[in-house]
Structures are given as structure tokens and as C-alpha cells.
Structure 1
Amino acid sequence: MEFIPPLQPAQLIKRYKRFLADVRLPNGEITTLHCANTGAMTGCATPGDTVWYSFSSSKTRKYPCSWELTQTANDHWIGVNTLRANQLVEELIEHRKIPSLSHFTHWQREVRFGDEKSRIDFVLSNKDGEQCYLEVKSVTLLENSSGYFPDTITLRGQKHLRELMSIVKQGKRAVLFFAVLHTGITQVRAAQHLDPAYAHLLYEAIELGVEVIAYRAQVTHQQLTLVDPIPFTK
């Protein structure tokens, strides 16, 4: 994914009300960015870090600029716009860059499913009638080179795991895809120290047959792309 038009830099002053961030532009002016990330953003929103933002010409937006990336003091790059994760995974699906899913030729986005009335990010299919349910999660929490998900308690994420387990019980494939949008992360783990209920459900889901795939992104102010599979470890 290329950023067109190019992203612009600013210095982070503070993030607040979850959806807003004040930044200082290179000319000294202060402006407010929209933040699409509703998570804790631990380590991704340190005042003084460089942020990179996109601009929308839509007349309906109150805040036309969106926070896309963080460049930390130790030069880690982080994709903080969680809306990008599904777009990046869809690029991999379209170009058949995920070996275990490369035989799927069609997909639907945001499909309603399950007893808990969820929406799955993608339902993949092929001409033989095979289906695969794929849920995408963005990983940005770094601790000692490991990426952890979630970065806070997620009842919604727990519900998604229960729904994926239900799919497997029906004899279909279910995949949890971790889109790792932090260049310092080399492996992914369940954040048992932050959401033990989610970690327990994830381990149970894996035992049942839910597949876990993790890919790390290459991140610059010009491009954001998922390129390298990395391990999920307990």
C-alpha cells in the first residue's frame, strides 16, 4: 500500500478522547488529527514522537487529517491506523501471498455470522466450494521484541474467538490473522498479562483447530506492506 498523496510529518503533543491527537507541524502550527485506533496504543503515542498523517479532501469530515504512522525515538515504525490492517491482508489474499490460503479465489468482506451476531472480516471461497473464515487483528504492542494482542481487555475479541471456534466445530476452516504493524516485533504472543480470558480462549481455539497466521509489516512514510511471516508462540 502506497500513501498517495504522501504522508506529512508532525510532532505528537498528546492523544486524547481516544479519537483525537494534537500535533505540532514543522512550521510550529498546532493542529488536531483524527485517530482511528480505539485501543490503548501503549508505546505508540509518546509525546514528542514523530507522527505521519494523511489528508482527506472530504467536506464532511470535521478533522481532515488522519494519524497513520508513528516513528518512535528509537526509530521503530508503527502503523497506528487500524483500518489499514484489513486492506493490507486483502492485498495478500488478492495476490495469493499467503501460501496456506493461496487456493482461494473469491472473498467477501464483513460477513454476518455466528450465534453472537458477529461480522467476520473475510469469508474466502473457491470453485470447489471450500470456505475459510478469516478474522484480522492489528498488533502494535511491543515488549522485549514480542508483539502482544490484545493491548487491553477486549470483550469483542473474546466473542470473535468463540465464533471462530464454532466455525471449526461445523467442519469449516477458521483463521485468526495477526497483522503486525510494528517494525520492532519479531514474534506474536497472547497478552495473558492484560487479558487472561482472551489468552485462555485463544489457546483453546488453537487446540480445537483455529489456525493462527502472523505477518509483519514493512513500514515507511511512503509505503505500508505486510511482507514477512513471523511465529506465534505461547
Structure 2
Amino acid sequence: MLFPSSLVHGRLVSRYKRFFADVVLDDGAAITAHCPNPGAMLGVNMPGLGVWLSKSDDPKRKLAHTLEMVETPPDAAGTVGLVGINTMLPNKLVAEALAADAIPELTGYDVHRREVKYGEASRVDFLLEKGTGERCWLEIKNCHLSRTPPLAEFPDCVAARSTKHLRELEAMVAAGDRAVALFVVQRTDCDRFSACADLDPAFAAGLERAADAGVEVLVYGCEMSTSDIVIGRRIRFLRASEAR
């Protein structure tokens, strides 16, 4: 997926009220940008971090800039990574990947339907269907947290809605359908993934229970640059006992 405009670089001053970020651009301009992430953004919200922003030409927008990526602090080798924080992107990335058969575990479906009602008054991200009547209920989660790279974790705060989605996927398996929880890791420095049990023990327990009940857990990383981002390679999912 190409970004809609060339990204501009700056430094984060502060992120506040969930959807606002004050940034100083490299040219010295001080701006307020839209922050498309309702979560805690743990580890990627510190003042001084490098950030990349897109800019809209829509005159009706109150905030022209959108925060897209945050740079990680340099590691021991001096390498700076990228972290995508836009929670609107994973569904778009997965839609592109499904159309291109880029996720081997999810190929062979004739129809990709979005936002289908199911479960406890929810809408599933994708319902994949085959001509034979086989169905796959697909929920997508954005992951940007990594406290100890190369381990990615989800969530970065209590995520009751995500825990509910796991219950709903379990119910689809019990009804005879296939169900998949797909975590999209928008980071360039991770090769494994686990639930974040200390920040949300209910979600971690729910993911274990769902996996035991037959819900498939897939984790994919992203290939990221300041011009585009696409679904990359599969990342290993660590059960709770493996992640300790």
C-alpha cells in the first residue's frame, strides 16, 4: 500500500487526548497532527522520537497531517526501526494481501465480505467464503508494542473489545466454521509474538482459550518504508508457556 502522499519527518513533542499529537517538523514548523490510534501507544509516545506524517490536501480537514509511523530509539548497533501506529491500515493491508493471495493460509476463498454482523452485536472484519459453502471468520488486530525486541506483544492496554472478539470467534468454531485471529505487526524489528499478559490478563487468557478451542492465530509482520507498507512474512506465535 502506497501512502497517499510523500511523508514528512519531524519530532514528537506530545501525544494527548488520544487523537492529537504535537510535532515539530524538520523545517521548524510546529503543528498538531491527527493521531489515528486510540490505544496507549506504549513505548512509541515519548517526546523526542522521530515521526513520519502524511499530509492531506482536503481543505475541509481541521488537521492536515496524520501521524503514520514512529521511529524506534537506536539499538546497540545504531539501527533505527519503524513502527506503524495507524490502526486504520491493517484492514487495508490485509484486503490487499487477500486479493494478491499473499497470505497462504487464507487463499482459496471466492468471496471476501467486510463488516458482516455476527456474535455479540459485532461486525467481523472479513467473512471469507468458498463456493462449497465453507466460511472463515477473520478478525484483524494491529500490533505495535515491543518492550523487548524481537518480541511483539498485544495489547498495550486493557482491550475488552478484543477479548469479546475472541469469544465470538470461538462461537463460530463451535458452530462448525473456521475462525482466525490475525495480528498485523507494524514493526521492522520483531520476529515473534505473544499476548501481553501483564497489561491485559483477561485478553491473554482469552487468546489461550480461543486457540485451544480451535481458533487459528496467525501473526504477520510488515515490510515498511517511508513510501509504502505491505504485509510481509509470518511471525511465530508464542503461547503463554513459551513466552515466559
Question: Is residue 57 of structure 1 aligned with residue 70 of structure 2?
Answer: no
| 1:210 matched to 2:215 | yes
**Residue 57 of structure 1, CA deviation:** 2.2
How far does residue 84 in structure 1 lie from its aligned partner after superposition?
0.3
1:1-234 correspondence runs (5 A) = 1-74=1-74, 75-114=80-119, 116-144=120-148, 145-234=150-239
Q: Secondary structure at the match of 1:197?
A: helix
Counterpart-to-counterpart distance in 1, 2:165 and 2:105 = 21
Query: More deviation in 57-66 or 153-162?
Result: 57-66
Give 4+ residue runs of structure 1 displaced > 4 Å after superposition.
Answer: none
Output the CA distance in 1 between the equivalents of 2:104 and 2:73: 35
1:18, 1:198 → 2: CA distance?
Answer: 22
Q: Which amino acid aligns with 2:125?
A: D
Tell me which moved more, 159-168 or 60-69. Answer: 60-69
CA shift for structure 1 position 111? 1.2
**Aligned-partner residue type, residue 48 of structure 2:** G
Q: CA deviation at 1:156?
A: 0.5
For the residue of structure 2 that corresponds to 1:158, the secondary structure is helix
Structure 2 CA distance for aligned equivalents of residues 43 and 97 of structure 1: 30
TM-score, reference length from structure 1: 0.97
TM-score by length of 2: 0.93
SS in 2 for 1:188: strand
Q: Compute the displacement of 1:172 (Å).
A: 0.2
What is the deviation of 1:28?
A: 1.1
Computed over aligned residues only, the root mean square deviation of the Cα atoms, in angstroms, reads: 1.0
Identity of aligned residues (%): 39
Deviation of the 1:193 alpha carbon: 0.8
C-alpha displacement of 1:232: 0.4
